[in-house]
């Protein structure tokens, strides 16, 4: 697998050559926009709002809207003036306890591969981070953007996980919570028991994208029927309701969870990859 970035981790006088590899993949079903009458693909055009005319690339500039419909135009040379030096170093600023970082700051992981000459120092950093449960907080420039990031232990690997800056997150105070009666001691106890009964050892292989699987089945049926319209399926949909008697709902949930726990578990069947011609 080809590295998307090559450079080094730096902290103190230690320098470890590494390469970054994508740790995730997005398996979305991609659809084209078509004209209904003949299924001709529809392309996007760059159209000006004022007159509806198409605008060629050489006439497009970038503008910052400082007030409604008022813009400051920025040219290529303006961006170069503030462009950060695209270093090839993951410069660790400090180490922090992982448990102190709110998970909402993390959003994209990369596997880190030790490059030539870096295996020993890589293994040392990995072992120490695992033993101390700490993360190295760093800044890195990928392509044309600077990111905050954390260097973390992930089993035998080091992982670089991109993070959001503080100003990119909304303050929790922005969410207005309605006033609510404090739950009773009995309700809290039943809720803890319910959580205990529903607690399992983490096994990511048990979870599948049900929506994608159902959509692929629908596509297969349409292909088999020559693209004909399929009959509408009437399925029961669970709707949110106001909980009137919380204790009664918890008791019913506990009984249901206890029944599910006594049933033999079945591992989810691996999802088959399909290719649609």
CB 144 within 8 A of CB 8: no
Who contacts 235 (Cβ-Cβ below 8 Å, separation ≥6)?
none
Which residue is it, tokens 């293994």?
A: 123
Burial of 163 (0-12, 13-18, 19+ CB in 10 A): buried
Mean pLDDT, the chain, rounded, equals 83
pLDDT at 24 over 60: yes
HSE value, Cβ hemisphere, 13 Å, CA-based, for 192: 7
pLDDT in tens, 47-65: 898 888 989 888 998 998 8
What tens digit of pLDDT does each residue of 4-17 get?
899 999 888 888 99
pLDDT at residue number 275: 44
pLDDT tens per residue, range 91-147: 899 999 999 999 999 999 999 999 999 999 999 999 999 999 999 999 998 876 889
Q: Can you list the alpha helix ranges (DSSP code H) found in 50-169?
A: 76-82, 119-132
pLDDT band at 277 (very low <50, low <70, confident <90, very high): very low
pLDDT above 70 for 269: no
Fold designation for 5-26+83-166: Ku70; Chain: A; Domain 2 (2.40.290)
Which tops the pLDDT comparison, 49 or 271? 49
Domain boundaries, the chain: 5-26+83-166
Q: pTM here?
A: 0.70
In the chain, the DSSP E strands lie at 5-11, 14-22, 62-67, 70-74, 89-97, 106-114, 134-142, 145-154, 157-163
């Amino acid at each position: 697998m080809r590295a998307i970035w090559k450079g080094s981790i730096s902290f103190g006088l230690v320098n470890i050559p590494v390469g970054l590899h994508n740790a995730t993949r997005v398996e979305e079903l991609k659809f084209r926009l078509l004209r209904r009458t003949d299924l001709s693909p529809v392309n996007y055009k760059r159209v000006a709002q004022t007159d509806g005319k198409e605008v060629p690339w050489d006439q497009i500039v970038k503008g910052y809207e400082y007030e409604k419909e008022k813009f400051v135009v920025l040219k290529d040379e303006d961006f170069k003036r503030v462009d950060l030096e695209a270093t090839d170093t993951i410069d660790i600023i400090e180490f922090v306890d992982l448990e102190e970082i709110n998970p909402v700051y993390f959003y994209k992981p990369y596997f880190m591969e030790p490059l030539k000459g870096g295996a020993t120092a890589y293994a040392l950093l990995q072992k120490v981070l695992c033993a101390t449960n700490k993360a190295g907080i760093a800044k890195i420039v990928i392509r044309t953007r600077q990111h905050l990031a954390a260097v973390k232990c992930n089993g035998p690997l080091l992982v670089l996980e991109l993070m959001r800056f503080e100003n990119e997150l909304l303050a929790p105070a922005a969410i207005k919570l309605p006033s609510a009666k404090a739950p009773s001691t009995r309700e809290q106890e039943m809720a803890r028991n319910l959580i205990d009964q529903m607690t399992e050892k983490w096994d990511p292989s048990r979870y599948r994208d049900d929506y994608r699987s159902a959509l692929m089945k629908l596509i297969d049926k349409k292909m088999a029927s020559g693209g004909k319209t399929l009959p509408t399926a009437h399925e029961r949909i669970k709707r949110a309701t106001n909980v009137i008697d919380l204790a009664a709902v918890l008791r019913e949930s506990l009984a249901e969870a206890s029944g599910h726990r006594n049933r033999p578990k079945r591992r989810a069947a691996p999802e088959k990859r399909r290719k649609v011609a």
